């Protein structure tokens, strides 16, 4: 089995999106297809959605999936935004049993980061790069000298006010509290300042849906680190999941032979 054309899947809080990807170039080979995330998000429900996405594209090759969780060797370790029954499961083997195709699973933010560092705005930066995806939650990805530090989960830090960053400054918080962009941006700026003090990165990349709204809130962002918007936007998770599958092709061949 060749590991160039790969189905990338981005498992998000509101929707699960997929598209086939040329993992060597980062180009989508077909239009994205999206299925709403089942409200309870149990393993059975999510694996059923994965099967529907594979069926939609009539896919027969490898599948890479970005998962909203800490993931180690395909095993789900946390469940901040997914059903608790996922914790401790080998999601790669569970989904493999459903779709009968090799499956690579990694943290969803890590997937987006891989895409940006390989094909996007981080590709030529050699120092510390922090990518922050802002959507239902806050995902973080850290690279140093081009190497991924997996599963950082820095969206869950406690801010000086005593509140968790994700609860306070995610896009879901903006929508939940009906905040204007300027008001929300002040919250997000507080979070960025904490990240800067902790990590001193050369570059911060903002991804997720808010990256398309930069002009609405950029005047409220005051950090010394250079900030750029992700160039792959909402496709980053799909592209990065496929790329991870290609990067880990040797181990996948052994696991699913």
How far apart CA 39 and CA 117 sit, in angstroms, is: 32
How many domains does the chain contain in total?
Answer: 2
What is the band of 15 on the pLDDT scale with cuts at 50, 70, 90?
very high
Helices 236-247 and 108-119 pack at an angle, to 10 degrees, of 90
Q: List the domain range (segments joined by +) for residue 149.
A: 121-230
| Same domain flag for 125 and 84 | no
205 lies in some domain: yes
Domain with 13 in it: what CATH number?
3.30.420.40
Q: Is the pLDDT reported for residue 27 higher than 80?
A: yes
pLDDT at 135: 86
Q: Is the pLDDT reported for residue 126 higher than 90?
A: no
80 lies in some domain: yes
Share of the chain above pLDDT 70, in %: 99
pLDDT at 198: 96
140 lies in some domain: yes
116 lies in some domain: no
| Same domain flag for 55 and 92 | yes
Lookup: tokens for 37: 């995330």
User: Which of these, 106, 103, 168, 100, lies nearest to 134 by C-alpha position?
Assistant: 168
| Same domain flag for 11 and 97 | yes
Mean pLDDT confidence for 96-108: 95
Average model confidence (pLDDT) across the chain: 93
33 lies in some domain: yes
Mean pLDDT confidence for 18-47: 95
| Same domain flag for 12 and 82 | yes
- pLDDT tens track for 176-225: 999 999 999 999 999 999 999 999 999 999 988 898 899 999 999 999 99
HSE, side-chain direction, 13 A CA sphere, residue 1: 21
How far apart CA 10 and CA 18 sit, in angstroms, is: 6
| Residue pair 67/80 in contact by the 8 Å Cβ criterion | no
């Amino acid at each position: 089995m060749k590991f160039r054309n790969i189905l990338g899947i981005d498992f998000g809080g509101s929707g699960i999106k997929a598209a086939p990807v040329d993992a060597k170039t980062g180009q989508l080979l077909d239009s994205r297809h999206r299925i709403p995330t089942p409200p309870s998000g149990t393993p059975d429900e999510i694996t059923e959605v994965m099967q529907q996405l594979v069926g939609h594209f009539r896919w027969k090759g490898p599948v890479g999936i970005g998962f909203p969780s800490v993931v180690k060797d395909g095993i789900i370790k946390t469940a901040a935004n997914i059903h608790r029954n996922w914790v401790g499961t080998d999601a790669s083997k569970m989904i493999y049993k459903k779709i009968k195709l090799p499956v690579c699973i990694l943290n969803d933010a890590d997937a987006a980061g891989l895409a940006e560092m390989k094909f996007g705005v981080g590709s030529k930066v050699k120092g510390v790069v922090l990518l922050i995806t802002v959507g239902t939650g806050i995902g973080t990805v850290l690279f140093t000298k081009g190497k991924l530090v997996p599963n950082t989960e820095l969206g869950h830090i406690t801010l000086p006010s005593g509140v968790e960053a994700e609860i306070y400054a995610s896009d879901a918080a903006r929508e939940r509290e009906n905040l204007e962009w300027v008001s929300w941006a002040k919250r997000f700026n507080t979070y960025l300042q904490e990240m800067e003090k902790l990590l001193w990165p050369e570059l911060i990349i903002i991804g997720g849906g808010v990256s398309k709204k930069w002009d609405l809130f950029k005047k409220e962002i005051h950090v010394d680190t250079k900030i750029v918007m992700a160039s792959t936007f909402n496709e980053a998770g799909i592209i990065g999941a496929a790329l991870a599958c290609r990067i880990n092709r040797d181990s996948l061949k052994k696991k699913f032979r």
